[in-house]
A and B are shown apart, each in its own frame.
Chain A
Amino acid sequence: MVVFDKPKSLADVPLHYCPGCTHGIIHRLVAETIDELGIEGRTIGVAPVGCSVLAYNYFNCDMVEAAHGRAPAVATGLKRSDPEKHVVFTYQGDGDLASIGMAETVHAAARNENITIIFVNNAIYGMTGGQMAPTSLPGQVTQTSPYGRDTNHCGFPVKVSEMLSQLDGAGYIERVAVNNVKNVRNAKKAIKKAFQNQLDGKGFSLIEVVSTCPTNWGMTPVDALKWVEEKMIPYYPLGVYKDRDAESKEEA
């Protein structure tokens, strides 16, 4: 009896991610979801620019590589090409989604675009070697904030889930983490719900996944997980920020 297997929609190739990086876990959760919902044959994924740029190699469904930050706009086109058939998700990091692609993110949410966004927040630009991200914490040392992020000089991190939850258009916004087993299980539930929402025509869903970057944080993988718990999660509290479906049920 097989008790643990590789998801079928995840390609059987080695991932390029650094040791201890949690992209692999998040990829797996997305692939498990695609398998369980039986939607691989109608799913189109959109990869970003950043560490997960090669995500297009890791999923077996049709994939599109978008320009930096433009994934939600590309996803809009993919979805509207055939709204009944296409299941469309984007997989984006914090620089891609919350800096250069902020306009595309906000407006896809405002339009209640019926797509699913997996937003991986690890508070740093990984691919380019560890620069300050829109989500880098105050005081965080990066290559471009070598004395620590000075909020007087370059302002404060963007809390994407909190911000998007203010939009009437956004359907479902939840922040999860993958730093321990309990959180991974919750993350899976949220990701699955975000895809199910799309299948049910419930509109824009975004799951923010608090993630790690041991390499550019300059930590061991274990210390990185600890840093998520001690520094990241207090600044980026986990939980459901918007669930229009649940809200309307409560009102009823």
Chain B
Amino acid sequence: MAEKVLMKGNEAIAEAAILAGCRHYFGYPITPQTEIAAYMAKKMPKIGGCFLQAESEVAAINMVYGVAGTGKRVMTSSSSPGISLKAEGLSYMAGSDLPCLVVNIQRGGPGLGGIQPSQADYFQATKGCGHGDYRMIVLAPSSVQEMASLTIKGFDLADKYRMTSMILADGTLGQMMEPVSLEEAVINDYDKSWAVTGTEMKRKKNLINSLSLVPEELEKLNFERYEKYKLVEENEVMYEEYMMDDAEVCVCAFGITARIAKNAIAMARAQGIKAGLIRPITLWPFPEKVLEEAADKVKGFVCVEMSMGQMIEDVKLATKCKKPVSLCNRVGGMIPSPEQVLEKIIDADKGGNE
């Protein structure tokens, strides 16, 4: 076990990326994630890496596209409005089957919104950021430790499936400090024979491209890509179950709200209400199976979200609306309190008894 150090969530992401072998970072300043860029600016030149402040989010994601095309690990980070700007590039990354890691430290929206934490980019991350049919692997850490470990995992999954991994965190996780142990990452060797690194006159040229003008061919590419996505859905779902063994009310929350939910569950149990938590760690692929199974056991679900209710749609789909699903939410940079969650748990417990 590596020694524990006290770090901000944003810094943990940056250090973990370096441990994962990422030597190229491109970004544009935006609150509340700028610590990532600052950390990279300091570290990269010392380890033979490249930190470059781009002229825009649009340029940054396209610089990422360039390095990703050469088969090297590369990342960018931003916060909500900046991710909107990167959406174009993310669609091109998907269309060209390029791996990269993108971090979204969410803030309140829409528009310029605020700079306080939010989870309102769930739709954007899980339903497709840019145009066209595509998916990103979306990882939702709920501690500083997970900010690090899921960054390392994200790079691996990106390389494995040749797609974008997104870390979907929020301003709270980005800014808060916790002890974290940073261990050497295992860097798997994936095939990169598709990369553009110069032919050296030894092989046929490689092409990184998302243009396909023949409908039959473009259709085939889409079907093939979705076959790949199916593999991700089958193999890469991650979630945490907490006190679900005897649970009658299932709270569903990701990221920082899952931690609040745990407090509320302790309070509920103190009152004799058997509450538990299912915390999706991968938001895509979504842990549908465990939720569907829970639907046969519990009275109802409570979704705790810092949005107007986005993940709740996936919970309803996964549980096939077998049991009532209620929403406990705050938005605009406000964070739900354990008491607020408890109230909803009590309601769900009563509702289930009716």
Contact = CB atoms under 8 A, between A and B. Distances in A.
Contact of B196 (A40, A64, A76, A107): A64
A208 B211 CA distance: 26
B70 A104 contact: no
Given A62-B205, A62-B206, A74-B66, A81 B72 contact: yes
A60 to B, nearest CB: 6
Contact of A74 (B62, B88, B201, B207): B62
Interface centre among B54, B60, B66, B202 (most CB of A within 10 A): B66
Nearest to B70: A81
A77 B205 contact: no
Interface string A170-201: 00000000000000000000000000000000
B52 interface: yes
Contacts, number: 131
A70 B88 CA distance: 11
Interface residues of A, number: 34
Contacts of B70: 44, 77-78, 81-82, 86
B55 interface: yes
Interface string B277-289: 0000000000000
Q: How many of chain B's residues touch chain A, expressed as a range?
A: 35 or more
Interface in A80-131: 80-82, 85-87, 103-104, 106-107
Nearest to A110: B55
Interface in A48-73: 53, 56, 59-67, 70, 73
Contact of B207 (A65, A76, A77, A107): A65
Contact of B208 (A40, A63, A80): A63
Contacts of B208: 63-65
Contacts of B55: 103-104, 106-107
A107 B59 contact: yes
Given A40-B199, A103-B55, A81 B24 contact: yes
Interface of A: 40-44, 53, 56, 59-67, 70, 73-82, 85-87, 103-104, 106-107
10 contacts: A53-B211, A56-B207, A61-B199, A61-B205, A65-B211, A66-B62, A78-B67, A81-B24, A81-B67, A86-B198
